[in-house]
Amino acid sequence: MFPRMTRERYLSDSELEAFMRAVRERRHVHQPRDHALFALLANTGIRPSEALALTRADLHLGGSEPLMRVRRKRRPHAPAPITELVLNANVAKLLRRHVKGMERSVRVFAMTKRQSERLFHYYRNKAGITHGCKLYGLRHTAGMRMVRHTRDLRLVQAIMGHQRLRATSVYLQSDPNTLRRAFAATGTVL
């Protein structure tokens, strides 16, 4: 039996859109940083600690294929984790805007984990999301979306940096809207 992903641990597509809208609409000096951070987490599925550890040197945003080097812990007897991830064009654009003029040794998101969690809660409340999703829920949201779009659990395992497939299998659970669409797509046989 697969472990369950409870509803409080991730954002639905509509909640994610409302959350990102709240981030985009805020008029604040740190809005570009916040937008880049949360878009990165929601689109790549990297851990918040991995995002906060990024330096300007880890981002290769030029060229046709923007890349990000992620520092992940290497576990003994585990397959080598993917350490370079291709960034989607929109996320790369947000990161370019945020890191413009930064030195290579500077951390991209100069904040603590606690500060990033508080920011997440601020935007979550601003978006009207009432369940208790936490910052790490953006990783779960990305994992759910990747499984839904690729249908390849091994690929998602490699991208997410999971040691065991069982850890990735929590993303197999479908939300009710996905189940309704799948049932409607099967059609009716008379």
Burial status of residue 16 (CB atoms within 10 A of its CB: 0-12, 13-18, 19 or more): buried
> Domain containing 124: what range?
9-178
Give a yes or no: residue 185 inside a domain: no
Cβ(10)–Cβ(178) below 8 Å: no
Give a yes or no: residue 190 inside a domain: no
Closest-CA residue to 83 (of 44, 31, 129)? 44
Q: What is the pLDDT of residue 170?
A: 81
Q: What is the pLDDT of residue 151?
A: 81
179 token code pair:
């189940």
Collapsing DSSP to helix, strand or coil, 71 comes out as coil
Cβ(48)–Cβ(136) below 8 Å: yes
Q: What is the pLDDT of residue 175?
A: 54
Q: What is the pLDDT of residue 14?
A: 93
In the chain, pLDDT over 90 holds for what percent of residues?
52
With a CB cutoff of 8 Å and minimum separation 6, the contacts of 14 are none
Over residues 124-153, the pLDDT tens digits come to 999 999 988 999 999 999 998 888 888 888
Over residues 76-114, the pLDDT tens digits come to 666 556 688 899 999 999 999 999 989 999 999 999 999
More confident residue, 14 or 172: 14
Give a yes or no: residue 2 inside a domain: no
- Interval 7-18 mean pLDDT: 87
Burial status of residue 103 (CB atoms within 10 A of its CB: 0-12, 13-18, 19 or more): exposed
- Interval 36-49 mean pLDDT: 94
Q: Tell me the whole-structure pTM to 2 decimals.
A: 0.83
Q: What is the pLDDT of residue 163?
A: 80
Give me the phi and psi of 22, to 5 degrees please: -60, -40
Question: How many structural domains is the chain composed of?
Answer: 1
Q: What CATH number is associated with residue 152?
A: 1.10.443.10
- Mean pLDDT over the full length of the chain: 85
Band the pLDDT of 179: cuts 50, 70, 90: low
Distances (CA, A) of 183 to 133, 151, 179, 186, 187: 28, 17, 6, 5, 7
Give a yes or no: residue 125 inside a domain: yes
- Interval 121-125 mean pLDDT: 96
Q: What is the pLDDT of residue 182?
A: 63
136 token code pair:
């790490």
End-to-end CA distance of the chain: 34
Q: What is the pLDDT of residue 1?
A: 45
Q: What is the pLDDT of residue 156?
A: 87
